[in-house]
Chains A and B, each alone.
Chain A
Amino acid sequence: MFRGSENISSVDNLTCTLTESLKTLKSVQYQNLFQNLPTPALVLDLRNQVVVCNEEFEQFSGYRFKEIIGHDLIEVIIPHDALEPAKFLFGKLLLGEKVRDKQLIKIKDGSVLEVIINGVPLLQKEDQVGVLVIMNRLFPAENDFSMDFERLKRLTEISQLVGAIGHELRNPLCIIKNSAYLVDKRLRGNESEENRKYLAIIRREAEMGNKIIANLLHFIRKREPQKQWIDPMRPIKEILMRYPLPENVTLDLNNNCQGIQISIDPDQIEVVLLNLITNAVHAMPTGGKLEISLNMENNLFAYRIADSGCGIPEDEMSMVFKPFFSNRRNGIGLGLTITKQLVEANQGKISIQSKVGCGTSFDIEFSNLMPA
């Protein structure tokens, strides 16, 4: 969602007057996509003043939304000696032309960087009402998240389709996993090792399918947490019941804080923990140790999910929470983005430690706790 409640009305005013191409800006999906774009993006009015920016722009530039709202973007981020080309580029935008060009910008810490500016005029009927600016940082080719307006539009359409398909898939998933549960129940005590293995695979993969759908649905439509006081072990028990671990993965489960309750949205934190546990399992394709621990320190409660897998290279550590970043061939790169968003929506903090060849561990801390 757009942030900065004092500016919501100006955003609404602008979004109400956008052209057909940006009609969907009013929709929750579009707002979420704008905020989740893996690249800096802003909407400007006809005086080049900032109406809204996404989180990626805040992180990239160092400027908070509140600092730049209503300010001329050129004055804020264009270094003095690059003013001429910038005025030419933004001038073309205000004349209703699409632009795509390299531009030097100066971020808050004083660094000057080269970016590609993709700009599209926002029209109402035939009158221009604003400008959408998307910046592509110049990354090495393997990390190229370049995003232009056409891709954004396409992404919006895809997300709507994915949302519909995701919901539809929940019906067959419900049947598959419960059929496996029934077979398991009927064969209990009589099944061969092999049948047990295959049943576990069916249940595990059905849960994976559900996890992927849950991540996609959270990504395209965020909802506010519905918090409850719960035993923090409850989501862990739930997951372990529904997601049988592969036989080559050993579980080391330690609950070091019995008798407390934490205030979280259990559904959302279950998605978080399932993401981390399945990631840990995927990081150990030839087996290893999965450590799940619940700890208390300095009035903070923390989940720790750690694996003894391949680890994450240092140069990728800053990317792991970015949308669409994945080092798995079949991953879509949303799991950890959603994980971080959900933890923070529940007033928690997430941190990661990793060493190549040794493994990765995630800590999730919550401060809202009380004795059971």
Chain B
Amino acid sequence: MNNPLKILIVDNDNCMLEVFSDFLKSEGYIVNCAGSGREGILRMSSNSYDIVFLDMLMPELNGVQTFQMIKSNGYNTTVVMMTAYAYSELIDQAKMIGVSLIILKPFDFYHIGRFLKEFSASSGLNQNTLIQLRQALDYRIA
């Protein structure tokens, strides 16, 4: 894979981090993990990422607060929020502050694989790409 995507996963569930990162590495991507929002921001200060998978419900900084800090620090990385709560108020907040994609757990790695292939093939997250990404992720988006 030429210039594989650099991906950051931020989730307070260690098991999720391990399994998700194993999958992404097996697909040829470069992956870093962070166990909290704060650690995620720290990682972003020393690395550049093409995409961040960010869990919504975490202790201390939740996904929405982490996203706000990412933006206020000037990072324009594409952020995909992950949540098990299909009806949470946090989803409304995340949409209001401009999170591009919110995917619902339990999602399938198969869909994530398709999503990332589309993402790699596109040059940036414009409207057309976003439509394609949504299709690649099927309808498991909030």
Q: Which residues of A contact B (CB under 8 A)?
A: 167-168, 170-175, 177-179, 181-182, 185-186, 206, 210, 217, 221, 223, 228, 234, 238, 241-242, 266-267
- Interface hits, B74-111 → A, CB 8 Å: 84-87, 105-110
Residue of A nearest to B85 (CB): A167
Residue of A nearest to B111 (CB): A238
CB-defined contacts of A228 to chain B, threshold 8 Å: 139
CB-defined contacts of A173 to chain B, threshold 8 Å: 105-106
A113 to B23, CA, bound (A): 62
Contact indicator A168/B84 (Cβ below 8 Å): yes
Contact indicator B108/A171 (Cβ below 8 Å): no
Residue of B nearest to A174 (CB): B106
The residue that A181 contacts in the complex, of B84, B85, B109, with Cβ under 8 A, is B109
> Do A242 and B108 contact each other (CB < 8 Å), given the known contacts A178-B23, A223-B87?
yes
B138 at the interface (CB under 8 A from A): yes
Residue of A nearest to B20 (CB): A178
Contact indicator B87/A221 (Cβ below 8 Å): yes
Contact indicator B19/A175 (Cβ below 8 Å): yes
The number of chain B residues with a CB under 8 A from chain A is 21
Contact indicator B138/A177 (Cβ below 8 Å): no
Q: Which of A167, A168, A174, A223: most chain B CB closer than 10 A? A: A174
10 contacts between A and B (CB under 8 A): A170-B106, A174-B84, A174-B105, A175-B15, A178-B20, A179-B19, A182-B26, A206-B106, A228-B139, A241-B110
B22 at the interface (CB under 8 A from A): yes
B39 at the interface (CB under 8 A from A): no
CB-defined contacts of B109 to chain A, threshold 8 Å: 178, 181-182
> Do A171 and B19 contact each other (CB < 8 Å), given the known contacts A182-B26, A182-B109, A242-B108?
no
Contact indicator A175/B139 (Cβ below 8 Å): no
B42 at the interface (CB under 8 A from A): no
The residue that B84 contacts in the complex, of A167, A177, A179, A185, with Cβ under 8 A, is A167
A175 to B109, CA, bound (A): 10
> Do A175 and B16 contact each other (CB < 8 Å), given the known contacts A182-B22, A182-B109, A241-B110?
yes
In the assembled complex, the CB of A94 is this many whole angstroms from the nearest CB of chain B, namely 39
Contact indicator A171/B23 (Cβ below 8 Å): no
Residue of B nearest to A266 (CB): B139
Residue of A nearest to B84 (CB): A170
A178 to B9, CA, bound (A): 16
A177 to B20, CA, bound (A): 12
* Other 11 A-B pairs with CB < 8 A, given A179-B19, A182-B26, A186-B26: A167-B85, A168-B84, A170-B84, A170-B106, A171-B16, A171-B105, A174-B16, A174-B106, A175-B19, A182-B22, A238-B138
